[in-house]
Amino acid sequence: METHPKEMEEDEKIPESKDLLPSQTASTLCISSRSESTWNAAPRNKWDIYHKPVIVLSVGGAVFLFGVAITSLTCLTTSNVNNTITTKKVFKLCGPAFLSLGLMLLVCGLVWIPIIRKKLRQRQQYHFLQSIKSFFPC
């Protein structure tokens, strides 16, 4: 025979109605799933909105150009000294790494800007729908 722990017996004594939340369907029909504070915030200027993608684009462009410079230097230079050969190998490895990292940051920044624009449009539509909702009560 199996013995149930005391915790299970106590849980079984609690009626199921206490576990369920009271129904509030009338008030939840018109409420958005997003928090009200982020949607009702004061309008911000363009720099506050776009500063993160602009920084990512700038850093990505700088890293990409640095990678181009290192890669082109390794292709253009010829080495006769043994010490320079190891340096050239390091540059051959670092050049493509900086190229790919810079390109990745550039693409992330370029994709981030349309996403922000879409969110701003959704926010404007939300405010428009809220004004209509206040005119026509639910």
pLDDT digits (tens, 9 = 90+) for 3-14: 555 555 555 555
Higher pLDDT, 48 or 27: 48
pLDDT at 102 over 90: yes
Q: What is the pTM of this model?
A: 0.59
Query: What's the pLDDT at 90?
Result: 82
Q: Is residue 105 within 8 Å of residue 57, measured between CB atoms? A: yes
Average pLDDT of 76-101?
78
Judge contact between 29 and 138, C-beta under 8 A.
yes
| pLDDT, tens digit (0-9, with 9 covering 90-100), for 118-127 | 999 998 888 8
Q: How far is CA 40 from CA 4, 27, 63, 136, in A?
A: 51, 19, 38, 20
